[in-house]
Amino acid sequence: MANDSGCKQLETLPIIGDANQQDFVVRVPGSLYQPLLIRPPDGSVERVSPGELDANEVRFVRDLIKFLYPGETPPEPGQPLIWNGLEVWIKRNLEKREDSFRLSVDTSDWYYPDFLIWLIDRKNRVQTLGFVDPKGLREGVDGGWSDYKVVSTLYMAHVVQKAVTQNGTLEIDGEAWQFRIRGALLSTTDYNTLTGHGKFKINDSQGGTCDPDEKDFEMRRIVFLPTTVTTTAYIGRLLDLLVNDSALDKTLVRCADLLASPSSFQPQDDSDRELLTRYQANPEKAVCGFVGDMISTNFSKNK
């Protein structure tokens, strides 16, 4: 359907627009939930439900499609996007309700990521339920590495995967599939502003702290939204984070094993022994604090 909604904002988006009564919709290829909704710039609609897209979320959806189909016509709505041979489906998470996708650590608030990205590798029978949340990390993540949104993204994804699978596999339509859950944060706060705020320090090799560089953030599943609006390469880095794990992920998997059953945890290497020692030094420490310490300490570069 052509853009007959009268909204000039849609003219720059590689998506299809329509207006139906008072709803302002955007139909997106690869979207499991149609339509995605954005608020008209003229303010003619007071409330859009469920979950209207703000400017950064609109950009993320637009850049995802432009990155996958540069200069090409994307698939029709209802068809998957394709990336490196994988099907890519995107779903806008519903508003804060019990049937939304949500994560929680300890007694923290529920965390509702904005987007679910389902990546399906039919050849190797691997499905990844990914989630991406565009967020201003300076104001939106008060606790730094120990903030429940960060811990949910890096750590709770592993906890939930362990809870819903048998050794990482899940039966789907009578077949055994590897099933993964991974998340990433898309920082709408620029790198210099975020590091200048000081709450995301990491430990250095001299026992002090230092500012992480962008690769350090990326290892910790944070990618920065570029200030140049025509740049879409960050989408590839986000997708890579959803399908590939780092050494930090391996440590967080062992954190999940340890915190699930401290009395039966059997260290397998020096990293496991360090985890156990840290836990035994303060077994009453909250999960967010313990995991946040591991995120900021392990795998820091020698600076």
Written as one string, the DSSP assignment of 107-166 is TPPPB--SEEEEEEETTTTEEEEEEEEEE-HHHH-TTGGGSHHHHIIIIIHHHHHHHHSB
Comparing 149-158, 163-172, 259-268, the range with the smallest average pLDDT is 163-172
What the block records as the tokens of 21 is 């009564």
* Cα distances (Å, whole numbers) of residue 142 to 57, 149, 198, 292, 303: 21, 9, 11, 13, 26
CA atoms within 13 A on the CB side of 197: 16
pLDDT at 18: 34
Q: How confident is the model at residue 180 (pLDDT cuts 50, 70, 90)?
A: very high
- Average pLDDT, whole number, for the chain? 81
Domain ranges of the chain: 93-297
- Give, rounded to a whole angstrom, the gap between the first and last alpha carbons of the chain: 54
pLDDT at 127: 94
Non-local CB neighbours of 256 within 8 Å, separated by 6+ positions: 155, 158, 159, 162
- Residue in the structure block whose two tokens are 């990491």: 202
Contact 113, 139 (CB under 8 A): no
Contact 68, 85 (CB under 8 A): no
Non-local CB neighbours of 107 within 8 Å, separated by 6+ positions: none
Question: CB 10: neighbour CB atoms within 10 A?
Answer: 20
For the packed helices 55-68 and 233-243, what is the interaxial angle rounded to 10 degrees? 90
- Residue 19: exposed, middle, or buried by beta-carbon count in 10 A (0-12, 13-18, 19+)? middle
Residue of 63, 48, 37, 47 whose CA lies nearest to 132: 63
Q: How confident is the model at residue 48 (pLDDT cuts 50, 70, 90)?
A: very low
pLDDT at 42: 55
Contact 27, 4 (CB under 8 A): no
pLDDT of residue 179 exceeding 50, the answer is: yes
pLDDT at 16: 32
- Residue in the structure block whose two tokens are 């022994």: 273
pLDDT at 273: 94
pLDDT of residue 236 exceeding 80, the answer is: yes
119-146 pLDDT, tens digit each: 999 999 999 999 999 988 877 677 889 9
pLDDT at 75: 80
